[in-house]
């Protein structure tokens, strides 16, 4: 109460009660004011309020100038079921505890309307990036999340957030402003206490930050108290624009101001009050609302325990026209829908427009930003005098210095050409066209200039990572080219979404025609083993069938022919001989199974070999080529024998030579480079494998740049509309489809060896041996045949001995 602010507030409350009962002298109730001095201490305010509740038995409390006091008294009011009308809004409760501040009624303007008003100004002038400057008070800190969220919804990039302590010295503020001065953003949104304004703008002027090109937007936290500031302070703020709570002029307002001024003059002749700020008018109106609610609550004859609830309901339901305009407190917050937009010119803040806010009371507080209607239009604003005295509307255009790589090969992506006659540098290519198409589709103007990243010899001045790092060092505002997204680079820059295919692929020469290719699927040992088993199986079947089957009998040449014919005809399941013995049938069934597996494997391997050449990447002697500067691609795939190359022509030369003649067996590179290569050499080379180990090409911007989101959106639209594909066809037209249908890496097709089918041959051999063994033991005809053959041989030997000399 010893401060000027406190004396004015107390006078407004007293005058409100006096004026209210002068107009309503027939009311049965009278509000008696019991004042207590908080002395600027939060705990003292809490103690005073507790004393009023316990000893004086007050039915409502008006006060709580700070956010801390509002929080403390809100908890106290909830416990005592007594309405607390706060000059400062308490911290919003957690979602799971929505009723914590149920008895708190904010009589100051809700910050949401102010946040939307700032957004409206920024939207009118199409500013896309701002610097946020605020103090470290609770009021300053609590509004920043709401302001930040609203900027994000409007795609406004916050280039920097600067928090200034309320106790900062001139030196500290000067140093902070020097840091902000180095940034390219020149639009400042300032939310600080009016007590900090003189120091801030004194240093702003010292640094020349009130010159043309700068914009300063102040919230009502400062602008509502402009009339209390010295002329020198106002002079330092020339060109500042801001929001100010609007109080419509009226005779009642003039009378109130005169009464308060005279009352305070009698107490202290040195205390001058030129006008009442908006928060004092809100206190006056809130006191009227309280007096009216108490009268209506008393009519209901409620008990004391329920009187606080009834009184609170009456306050929240009140809707009347006060000195500040239409007054209502839905959800415990003052809804005041009009803000002045003012421009500091000369000795005063001249009004240049209004911002109107309407909010439906049946919507939750969290939806206020969506329900508010923006009624501010650029043609409704009067001419604004900007810092430096300019009346010209600030340009909303963005200017970018863009770094581009200087390539040796693959210039279809980025081509840098220097015209010595005109002394101009022309930058073209697929990446450049994608960037130009995307940037031209943005709803705002962006000027850009390309700067090749080269040294005095006209070659690349470092690696691609060095080029990207220049954005972090603020040498470039962006980088455009064949820049691969990597996790390491993403630590200090932001990437747009990729505009090319993801991953790497492997290039190989197409296999030349070979008249003996049909022999390649099987190894020599497998061919020989298969042939032996064909003959062996035929022999065993003949041996079992001959005694009982006439088709396996005949002359020796006929029986040999039958054995060979029967064996090899099983390849096509075309044998015509009828088998009678169950043992022979058993042997044939097993052998048919072996033949089925063998022929299927042969067919699949031959088809793979005739379709595309497959190589074994880990075999000794096969060299792999890669693009110089992209060693990480090959390292990720664990290749050791590698050779670097720079251009499409070098790729083709190395692949045509092969590993045995100083070249390579395959090239591994990112898919965009491979597509460029195949556009020129599609008939002789093929893409045989792909793997998603890289993230594609993208554009580079500083961390947090709004252009990342906007350009990513445009790249997405270009992809959906087929524009990216059209640009690819323009720069590297594809004659055929090189990309596999899926992105899986297929295993290389090797010649099938004996070991692969050793199990099958083992099964066939064992089954034949078992059948032969059973045949020998149980077949009488076979025994007779053997006995007859032995007798025949014995007789011939006997005759032979008769002719030999003794």
φ/ψ region of 102 (left if φ > 0, alpha if ψ in -120 to 50, else beta) reads: alpha
Selection from 359, 369, 365, 313 nearest residue 92 by Cα: 365
Q: How many CA atoms lie within 13 A of 648 on its CB side?
A: 17
The answer to whether 602 and 609 have CB atoms below 8 angstroms apart is no
pLDDT tens sequence across 683-736: 778 787 677 777 889 999 998 787 898 899 999 999 999 899 889 888 877 654
User: 373 pLDDT exceeds 50?
Assistant: no
pLDDT tens sequence across 241-279: 999 888 888 899 899 989 988 888 888 888 877 788 888
The answer to whether 669 and 631 have CB atoms below 8 angstroms apart is no
Selection from 489, 467, 495 nearest residue 698 by Cα: 495
Q: How many CA atoms lie within 13 A of 83 on its CB side?
A: 30
| 231 Cβ neighbours under 8 A, 6+ residues apart | 347
Q: Rounded to an integer, what distance in angstroms lies between the CA atom of residue 630 and that of residue 624?
A: 13
Selection from 501, 469, 488, 589 nearest residue 537 by Cα: 589
Q: Rounded to an integer, what distance in angstroms lies between the CA atom of residue 418 and that of residue 688?
A: 38
**Which two three-digit tokens encode residue 500?**
């090319």
Task: Say which residue the tokens 């929001």 belong to.
Answer: 243
Query: pTM for the complete prediction?
Result: 0.59
Tell me the mean pLDDT in the region 296-305: 69
pLDDT tens sequence across 748-794: 445 777 777 888 888 888 888 888 777 777 666 666 666 776 777 77
Q: Residue 781: what pLDDT?
A: 62
User: 619 pLDDT exceeds 60?
Assistant: no
Task: Say which residue the tokens 């002027």 belong to.
Answer: 205
The percent of residues in the chain predicted with pLDDT above 90, rounded, is: 21
Q: Rounded to an integer, what distance in angstroms lies between the CA atom of residue 242 and that of residue 340?
A: 8
Q: Rounded to an integer, what distance in angstroms lies between the CA atom of residue 635 and that of residue 621?
A: 18
**Highest mean predicted confidence (pLDDT) among 168-182, 356-370, 394-408, 729-743:** 168-182
Kindly state the DSSP code that residue 443 receives in the 8-state scheme: S
Q: Rounded to an integer, what distance in angstroms lies between the CA atom of residue 487 and that of residue 21?
A: 71
Which has more confidence, 624 or 739? 624
The answer to whether 764 and 591 have CB atoms below 8 angstroms apart is yes
Q: Rounded to an integer, what distance in angstroms lies between the CA atom of residue 278 and that of residue 283?
A: 9
pLDDT tens sequence across 652-672: 888 888 887 788 888 888 888
Give CA 428 to chain center in angstroms: 29
Q: Residue 97: what pLDDT?
A: 47
Which has more confidence, 767 or 803? 767
Tell me the mean pLDDT in the region 393-418: 82
Task: Say which residue the tokens 């839905």 belong to.
Answer: 330
Selection from 613, 680, 683, 672 nearest residue 648 by Cα: 680
The answer to whether 624 and 659 have CB atoms below 8 angstroms apart is no
∠ CA 760-765-770, nearest 5°, is 130
């Amino acid at each position: 109460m010893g401060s000027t602010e406190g004396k004015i507030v107390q006078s407004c409350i007293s005058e409100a009660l006096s004026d209210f009962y002068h107009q309503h002298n027939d009311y049965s109730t009278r509000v008696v004011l019991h004042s207590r001095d908080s002395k600027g201490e939060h705990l003292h305010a809490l103690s005073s309020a507790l004393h009023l509740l316990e000893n004086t038995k007050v039915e409502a409390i008006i006060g709580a100038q700070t956010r801390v006091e509002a929080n403390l008294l809100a908890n106290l009011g909830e416990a005592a079921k007594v309405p607390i009308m706060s000059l400062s809004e308490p911290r919003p409760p957690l979602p799971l505890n929505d009723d914590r501040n149920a008895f708190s009624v904010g009589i100051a303007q809700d910050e949401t309307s102010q946040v939307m008003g700032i957004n409206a100004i920024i939207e009118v002038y199409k500013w896309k990036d701002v610097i946020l400057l605020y103090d470290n008070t609770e009021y300053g800190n609590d509004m920043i999340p709401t302001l930040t969220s609203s900027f994000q919804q409007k795609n406004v990039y916050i280039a920097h957030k600067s928090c200034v302590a309320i106790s900062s010295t001139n030196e500290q503020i000067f140093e902070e402003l020097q840091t902000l001065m180095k940034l390219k953003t020149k639009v400042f949104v300032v939310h600080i206490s009016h007590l900090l304004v003189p120091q801030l703008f004194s240093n702003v002027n010292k640094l020349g930050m009130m010159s043309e090109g700068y914009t300063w937007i102040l919230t009502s936290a400062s602008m509502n108290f402009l009339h209390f500031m010295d002329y020198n302070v106002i002079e330092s703020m020339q060109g500042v624009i801001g929001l100010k709570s609007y109080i419509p002029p009226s005779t009642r307002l003039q009378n109130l101001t005169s009464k308060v001024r005279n009352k305070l003059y009698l107490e202290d002749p040195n205390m001058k009050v030129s006008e009442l700020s908006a928060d004092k008018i809100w206190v006056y109106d809130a006191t009227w609302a309280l007096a009216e609610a108490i009268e209506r609550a008393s009519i209901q004859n409620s008990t004391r325990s329920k009187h606080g609830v009834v009184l609170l309901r009456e306050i929240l339901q009140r809707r009347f026209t006060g000195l500040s305009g239409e007054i209502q407190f839905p959800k415990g917050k003052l809804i005041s829908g009009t803000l002045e937009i003012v421009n500091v010119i000369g000795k005063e803040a001249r009004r240049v427009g209004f911002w109107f806010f309407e909010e439906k009371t049946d919507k939750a507080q969290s939806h206020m930003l969506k329900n508010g209607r923006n009624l501010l239009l650029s043609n409704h604003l009067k001419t604004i005098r900007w810092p430096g005295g300019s009346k010209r509307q600030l340009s909303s255009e963005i200017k970018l210095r863009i770094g581009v790589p200087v390539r040796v090969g693959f210039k279809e992506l980025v081509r840098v050409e220097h015209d010595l006659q005109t002394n101009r540098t022309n930058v073209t290519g697929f990446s450049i066209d994608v960037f130009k198409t995307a940037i031209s589709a943005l709803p705002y103007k962006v000027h850009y200039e390309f700067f090749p990243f080269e040294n005095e010899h006209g070659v690349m001045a470092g690696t691609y990572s060095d080029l990207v790092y220049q954005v972090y060092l603020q040498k470039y505002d962006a980088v455009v080219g064949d820049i691969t997204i990597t996790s390491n680079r993403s630590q200090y820059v932001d990437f747009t979404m990729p505009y090319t295919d993801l991953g790497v692929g492997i290039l190989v020469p197409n296999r030349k025609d070979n008249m003996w290719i049909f022999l390649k699927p099987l190894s020599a040992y497998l061919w020989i083993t298969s042939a032996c088993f064909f003959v062996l199986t035929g022999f065993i079947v003949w041996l079992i069938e001959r005694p009982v089957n006439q088709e396996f009998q005949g002359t020796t040449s006929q029986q040999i022919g039958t054995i060979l014919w029967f064996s090899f005809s099983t390849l096509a399941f075309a044998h015509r001989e009828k088998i009678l013995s169950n043992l022979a049938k058993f042997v044939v069934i097993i052998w048919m199974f072996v033949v089925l597996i063998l022929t299927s494997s042969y067919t699949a391997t031959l088809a793979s070999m005739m379709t595309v050449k497959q190589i074994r990447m880990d075999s000794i002697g096969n060299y792999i080529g890669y693009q110089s500067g992209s060693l990480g691609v090959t390292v990720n795939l664990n290749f050791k024998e590698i050779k670097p190359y720079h251009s499409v022509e070098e790729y083709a030369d190395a692949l045509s030579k092969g590993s045995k003649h100083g070249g390579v067996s395959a090239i591994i590179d990112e898919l965009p480079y491979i597509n460029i290569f195949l556009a020129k050499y599609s008939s002789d080379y093929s893409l045989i494998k792909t793997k998603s180990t890289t993230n594609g090409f993208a554009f580079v911007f500083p961390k947090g740049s709004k252009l990342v989101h906007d350009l990513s959106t445009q790249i997405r639209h270009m992809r959906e509309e087929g524009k990216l594909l059209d640009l690819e066809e323009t720069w590297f037209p594809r004659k055929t489809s090189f990309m596999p249908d899926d992105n899986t890496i297929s295993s290389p097709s090797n010649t099938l060896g004996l070991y692969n089918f050793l199990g099958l041959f083992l099964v066939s051999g064992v089954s034949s041996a078992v059948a032969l063994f059973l045949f020998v033991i149980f077949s009488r005809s076979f025994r007779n045949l053997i006995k007859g053959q032995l007798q025949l041989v014995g007789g011939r030997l006997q005759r032979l001995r008769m002719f030999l000399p003794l």
